């Protein structure tokens, strides 16, 4: 899972990046000389189930699922009208979703680029720029398809006309200032668009970056949109906590009445927005958490482990994490009838423990 941290300059993106990753990248720094900067960090997904499975199986290796955060250079207000630069667009296209950091704190030493703090205005500004970028991309695609149909240069005219109709619907949606993530599309159209990196199709989590003393968390009035979420974080404070030892961090959290570190909240919210879940593989050699889309079938989960397992999939041995914890051992899971053999149609559930039976592909 790759999540891009975006936002206007001076919104506190790097502060949030440090809070999520425990990093210490300089904050309040803007790249000069036209340089484009991106900071990356890979962090383990906190999951107490992995620790408990590791304690039970005592494996040689314990591997958590991971998430990559990318702190992407600030989006200048109105950048969508002139078009994003190639390097910026390339970075944004690689992300599975976005964390949009919005400034909701006052600091006279760090002037807001627009002259005042106004979260609703800033949210609209950035989301409009993303939408305009998609609109330009859709218009270019429509021009190409229309030209090919007019010149007779398409091998499958029916498929080209179907694609043209789809992109016309995308254009209508974007022209109505509606993000593409809000469209309800049939599976065939979703599959067609999977090769396109439209920015407004990606789930979006808006983070209101508040100061340490804010008691009543701000809201975005009227902002209730599908596949988006809003959360307020004390960015600077959370960054400081992320750099403390576990013991000191717990005391700090208690003093400020923070129920859990930002990393846990953000990953949970991100999993929900992206429609992700975890399953596990266990054994003496390795206990490991894997990430898969909700609704994925057993062969799809097998493919996350290795492509050979997907291609040669026969059956999946399946039992649940909760059943294992209740029973105390795999043998007891089997004794209580909770151990199952499932086929290709089985839909994997969060917390499933899988062992894939497969036929190795023939050697070429």
Tokens representing 111 are: 């002037």
The residue among 174, 166, 164 whose CA lies nearest residue 199 is 174
pLDDT of residue 32: 43
Nearest to 76 by CA among 178, 7, 166, 142: 7
* Per-residue model confidence (pLDDT) at position 332: 96
According to the model, what pLDDT value does residue 258 have?
76
Cα-Cα-Cα-Cα torsion 312, 317, 322, 325, nearest 10 degrees, comes to -120
Give the chain's residues under pLDDT 50.
Answer: 31-34
Q: 2-6 and 66-72: which strand pairing?
A: parallel
Residue 152: the pLDDT is 79
Residue 192's contacts (CB-CB under 8 Å, 6 or more residues apart) are 163, 166
Helix axes 119-151, 157-175, angle to 10 degrees: 160
- CA 235 and chain centroid, separation: 19
Q: State the CB neighbour count (10 A cutoff) for residue 73.
A: 19
pLDDT at 29: 53
Domain ranges of the chain: 295-358
- Domain covering 295-358 in this structure, CATH number: 3.10.20.30
Residue 50: which of 292, 277, 257, 282 has the closest Cα?
Answer: 282
Q: What is the 3-state secondary structure (H, E, C) of the chain?
A: CEEEEECCCCCCHHHHHHHHHCCCCCCCCCCCCCCCCEEEEEEECCCHHHHHHHHHHCCCEEECCEEEEEEECCCCCCHHHHCCCHHHHHHHHHCCEEEEEEECCCCCCCCCCCCCCCHHHHHHHHHHHHHHHHHHHHHHHHHHHHHHHHHCCCCCHHHHHHHHHHHHHHHHHHHCCCCHHHCCCCHHHHHHHCCCCCHHHCCEEEEEEECCCCCCCCCCCCCCCCCEEEEEEEHHHHHHHHCCCHHHHHHHHHHHCCCCCHHHHHHHHHHHHHCEEEEEECCCCEEEEEEEECCCEHHHHHHHHCHHHHHCEEEEEEEEHHHHHHHCCHHHHHHCCCCEEECCCCECCCCEEEEEEECCCCCC
pLDDT of residue 272: 86
């Amino acid at each position: 899972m790759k999540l891009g941290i975006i936002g206007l300059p001076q919104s506190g993106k790097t502060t949030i990046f440090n809070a999520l990753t425990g990093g210490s990248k300089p904050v309040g720094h803007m790249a000069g000389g036209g340089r484009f900067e991106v900071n990356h960090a890979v962090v383990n997904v906190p999951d107490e189930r992995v620790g408990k499975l590791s304690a039970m199986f005592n494996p040689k290796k314990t591997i958590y699922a991971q998430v990559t955060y990318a702190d992407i250079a600030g989006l200048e207000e109105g950048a969508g009208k002139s078009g994003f630069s190639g390097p910026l667009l390339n970075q944004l296209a690689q992300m599975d979703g976005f964390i949009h950091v919005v400034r909701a704190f006052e600091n006279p030493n760090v002037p807001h680029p627009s002259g005042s703090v106004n979260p609703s205005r800033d949210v609209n500004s950035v989301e409009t720029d993303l939408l305009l970028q998609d609109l330009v991309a859709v218009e270019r695609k429509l021009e190409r398809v229309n030209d090919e149909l007019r010149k007779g240069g398409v091998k499958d005219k029916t498929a080209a006309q179907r694609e043209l109709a789809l992109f016309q619907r995308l254009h209508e949606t974007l022209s109505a200032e509606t993000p593409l993530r809000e469209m309800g599309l049939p599976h065939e159209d979703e599959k067609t668009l999977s090769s396109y990196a439209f920015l407004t199709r990606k789930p979006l989590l808006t983070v209101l970056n508040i100061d340490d003393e804010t008691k009543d968390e701000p809201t975005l009035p009227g902002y209730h949109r599908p596949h988006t979420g809003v959360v307020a974080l004390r960015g600077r404070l959370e960054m400081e906590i992320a750099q403390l030892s576990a013991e000191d961090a717990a005391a700090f959290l208690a003093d400020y009445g923070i129920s859990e570190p930002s990393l846990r909240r953000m990953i949970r919210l991100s999993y929900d927005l992206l429609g992700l879940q975890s399953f596990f593989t266990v054994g003496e050699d390795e206990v490991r958490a894997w990430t898969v889309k909700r609704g994925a079938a057993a062969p799809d989960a097998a493919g996350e482990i290795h492509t050979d397992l997907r291609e040669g999939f026969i059956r999946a041995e399946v039992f649940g994490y909760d059943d294992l914890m209740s029973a105390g051992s795999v043998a007891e899971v089997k004794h209580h009838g909770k151990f199952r053999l499932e086929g290709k149609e089985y839909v994997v559930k969060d917390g499933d423990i899988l062992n894939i039976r497969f036929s190795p592909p023939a050697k070429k």
